[in-house]
Structure 1
Amino acid sequence: MRSSHVVDSSWEQELNKMAEQLKQFLDKNGKEKDPDKSASIFHQMGLFYKEQSKQDDSITKKLSLIRSAALFNAAVTRQLGNEQFKQSLKDFCSDLLKTAGAKILDADLMKIAQEVKEMAENMRKETNESLQQIKTIPYDVTKDEQKELEAEKIASIKTIQAQITQNYKNMMKFVTNECEKIMGNSPCRYSITGMGSLARCEITPYSDYEHIILLEEEAQERCLEYFRWFSVIFQTIIINLQGTIIPSVAIPSFKHVTKPDEKEFFDAFTKR
């Protein structure tokens, strides 16, 4: 719990002020009119959440850090030449590892994210090339020929889908292995299981990633805390890909300042 209600109240008031400042750069649909100007507000909020995390309880601390990561990345992407914003993100990643009690304190979370981003871009490029090689079925063919061509097309699509699924698994295994290296060996056995479209082998090159971490029964608190920080680092790496929209981390102050006739902030800038 935070130390007092007064601190909590002033904290919320300060965030609401920042959200109010953001409103002047939004249109009637809640979209940014000038992302370059709103960048400084996101940076300011990122610093605030990072500082506030020092006062938070265990779970809230982790949520504040995830929000801070999203806000810093939002600022960086809107002002790519701003070295202050880049340094703030770099400092955040370094401080996160110390707070998490990581084994490797000099791990480069931004570099790891860049490697994952390159893997994703290569997957998308390869998928596009494979799809372009699939021939269209002409109209002037017999029914038997059409069935044969359709079977070939279905087989090609299944092959491409299987490759996308495998590439996605490889990317997430890479992030998982990096997180374990950073945090040190797991104190218990675990398994990471894909959910949703990945579990159904229907994932696309632009899908989000849903998964659960399965632990041994009767896992001790030290094991749970290890994977809580493991998850924060994992999510920070994914956020550092700079394809995570700000509303996905549910920042309360964006909703507090919304009036009934106004729409909430909508991040139309970030590439999904």
Structure 2
Amino acid sequence: MAEQHFASALKLVHQTKPTQPGAEAHCLHKLGDVYIQRGKRTEDGGDFTKAAALYNAAMARSEAGGFRDMLAQALKQTEQFFLRHVGGVACEIDQYDVDMGHKNEMRETRGKVTERLETIDQRYNPYTHDQNDPEVRNLETARATAVMELFQEITHDRQTFVDRLISECIGRIGPPPCRYAFIGLGSQATELVTPFSDLEFAILLEEEADSEHNKQYFRNLTHYLHLKIINLVETILPAMGIKSLNDFYSGDRKSS
């Protein structure tokens, strides 16, 4: 009932002109609180990821000040509640600040990739020659090779980045119960990933180790990794599929 009331308030505020980001932020904050309480009862990691997404959406609509500081504290507590109620780990952590460090790392990586692309564009620019000039073919070939090498570097760097996030998660919730492998999918697998690409992966378990207990561990690990990805502040809220805001399964286009 609380979720429906806050969701209705959010939709009402969102429809007003001019927009009221501050009022939206307060509604999103309250919805996040609802999902925190739900997660404590269900012990479902997905409820905590939704709470984190709602708090981050509220943060994006807030200016510096006490309310924003409160949201930052709520995000720190979200991870603590996740570890306590899903991972069975009681600890006091300041992980949100660590996540912001990851965000800064991504920003720096994107800046370096932008510089590399500009260098490639300047060094191998076929448009500085007449289209019938034989040098054009050489420049195009060199340009394609340089771009391919850059793609490979981005793929390797992002694999290292995600591996570090996974290691941080495992360091908190404990070692895996069996051997496993994270398999990159999509652009990560084809080595065509960009610094802005989404993350798709699968987890393979060793043969005859797919017990419910083992699979639950990796579900929790996936939710924890998702929580870290959300705290990079690049996950749009509709992607979370929060039914009271975006019900993708209702058949009603307006609600999705």
Q: TM-score per shorter chain, which class? A: 0.7 to 0.9
Give the CA deviation at 1:245. Answer: 0.9
Q: Quick one: structure 1 residues 25 and 261, their matched pair in 2 at CA, closer, same or farther if it must change by over 3 Å? A: farther
Give the CA deviation at 1:261. Answer: 10
The answer on 1:179 being equivalent to 2:169 is yes
Residue in structure 1 matched with residue 185 of structure 2 by the alignment = 195
What is the count of residue pairs matched by the alignment? 245
Question: Aligned partners of 2:24 and 2:150: how far apart in 1?
Answer: 40
Letter in 2 for 1:77: A
Return 5+ residue gaps in structure 1 as ranges.
1-12, 266-272
**1:66–1:236 CA contact under 8 A, matched in 2:** yes
Residue in structure 1 matched with residue 148 of structure 2 by the alignment = 158
- Deviating more after overlay: 167-176 vs 92-101: 92-101
Return 5+ residue gaps in structure 2 as ranges.
none
Residues 203-261 of structure 1: CA distance to partner in whole angstroms, max 9, x if unpaired?
A: 111111111111112223332222121111111111111111111111111247xxx99
> Which residue, 21, 29, 42 being the options, matches 1:35?
21
The answer on 1:15 being equivalent to 2:3 is yes
Residues 58-102 of structure 1: CA distance to partner in whole angstroms, max 9, x if unpaired?
A: 5xx222222111111212232243222222222121111111335
The answer on 1:239 being equivalent to 2:227 is no
Question: Aligned partners of 2:156 and 2:229: how far apart in 1?
Answer: 18
Question: Aligned partners of 1:209 and 1:255: how far apart in 2?
Answer: 21
> Which residue, 66, 80, 83 being the options, matches 1:94?
80
**2:29–2:54 CA contact under 8 A, matched in 1:** yes
Question: Aligned partners of 2:6 and 2:41: how far apart in 1?
Answer: 20
Given the two structures, how large is their TM-score scaled by the length of structure 2?
Answer: 0.86
Give the CA deviation at 1:104. Answer: 7.4
> Which residue, 40, 46, 59 being the options, matches 1:63?
46
Q: Which has the higher contact order (CA 8 A, sep 6+)?
A: 1
The answer on 1:77 being equivalent to 2:63 is no
Residue in structure 2 matched with residue 7 of structure 1 by the alignment = none
**Which SS does the other structure have where 2:183 is aligned?**
strand
Q: Quick one: structure 1 residues 255 and 244, their matched pair in 2 at CA, closer, same or farther if it must change by over 3 Å? A: closer
**1:42–1:72 CA contact under 8 A, matched in 2:** yes
- Deviating more after overlay: 84-93 vs 100-109: 100-109
The answer on 1:214 being equivalent to 2:182 is no
Letter in 2 for 1:237: K
Q: Quick one: structure 1 residues 246 and 218, their matched pair in 2 at CA, closer, same or farther if it must change by over 3 Å? A: same
Residue in structure 2 matched with residue 10 of structure 1 by the alignment = none
**Which SS does the other structure have where 2:244 is aligned?**
helix
Give the CA deviation at 1:142. Answer: 5.0
Q: Quick one: structure 1 residues 37 and 150, their matched pair in 2 at CA, closer, same or farther if it must change by over 3 Å? A: same
Give the CA deviation at 1:105. Answer: 2.6
Question: Aligned partners of 2:252 and 2:168: how far apart in 1?
Answer: 46
Residue in structure 2 matched with residue 249 of structure 1 by the alignment = 240
Q: Structure 1 vs Structure 2: percent identity of aligned residues? A: 30
**Which SS does the other structure have where 2:203 is aligned?**
strand
Question: Aligned partners of 2:233 and 2:131: how far apart in 1?
Answer: 47
Residue in structure 2 matched with residue 46 of structure 1 by the alignment = 32
**2:55–2:74 CA contact under 8 A, matched in 1:** yes
Question: Aligned partners of 1:32 and 1:51: how far apart in 2?
Answer: 32
Letter in 2 for 1:240: N
